[in-house]
Amino acid sequence: MQRRPLTAATTPYSAMDEPRRSAATCNLETALAQPKQPSGQCLLRLNRDLKNIIDNPVPGIYVEPEKGDVTYVHTVIIGPDNTPCQGGLFHFVLKFPLGYPDRPPQVRFMTTDGGRVRFNRKLYSSGLVSLRIPGTFHGPSWNPEMTLKTMVVSIQSSLIEQPLDNEPALGEFKTWLQKTISCNAKLRFQTIKVAICDALEACLLGNSLYPQDLQIAVMKHFVKQYDKYESVAFSLLGEDSSEEESKQYAVLFERLQDLHDRILQNSPTMRKM
């Protein structure tokens, strides 16, 4: 099973998408420029963190370090149920600096369809992840007692957030509700298209950024949970939408079924799951 090189994860952020954060732009280019090898303390702590999260996995979170460089860690976080992001395979790359754990890892959100999709106010289409822990949002930030698990659980919590989460005044409720329903439908569509179908397609075509073990893990997850995926996609067909949108939903539903069939053809052992 092939994959794209990790260097594809280091494209600079778009300055058009959001203002740069003053203390931490949270980009991987700075980390790549570091000439020195990680300290023994950094590697010892990071390996301990990895062992802890692998031995005691968090439901809905898959973690795999880059082969040959454990300071790059890939994580795929499954979109939580009962949210517009349900079932999405949301990919993040964490780069651990030389000074870890005194300094926090840098985080890049990868599931953006090349910078065209933004899933909520904390996950930018440029790849920026706006959270308190890595220091890209106001509030209590990183401290050395925090771990890799702390970071990925914090990221997971950002996927629970609804796209329009400000409580409306009573007189504005109808407008707010209409906007929320419309926004949620669009996010469900993008979740299935970008965060599920495109992600699985990349695994099958050999151009995914996931490490190989992570590719296998997400495909197994998809096959195991396929009935739920199909149910969510089918629900879009019943949405009150335009004729053009209905056609797009139908194509997406067929694509999801096709991916399921192709995964089973390529990996017959998954039929037993």
pLDDT computed for residue 23 by the predictor: 30
pLDDT computed for residue 272 by the predictor: 58
pLDDT computed for residue 132 by the predictor: 67
CB 180 within 8 A of CB 162: yes
Distance separating the N- and C-terminal Cα atoms of the chain: 20
Q: What are the average pLDDT values for consecutive 10-residue runs of the chain, which has 273 residues?
A: 56 38 39 62 95 96 94 96 93 93 92 91 88 55 91 90 51 51 82 97 95 96 96 80 83 96 86 61
* CATH number of the domain located at residue range(s) 6-158 in this protein: 3.10.110.10
Domain-by-domain residue ranges, the chain? Answer: 6-158, 170-272
- The pLDDT tens digits of the residues spanning 51-81 come to 999 999 999 999 999 988 999 999 999 999 9
pLDDT computed for residue 13 by the predictor: 41
Type of residue at 25: T
d(Cα 31, Cα 26) in Å, to the nearest integer?
9
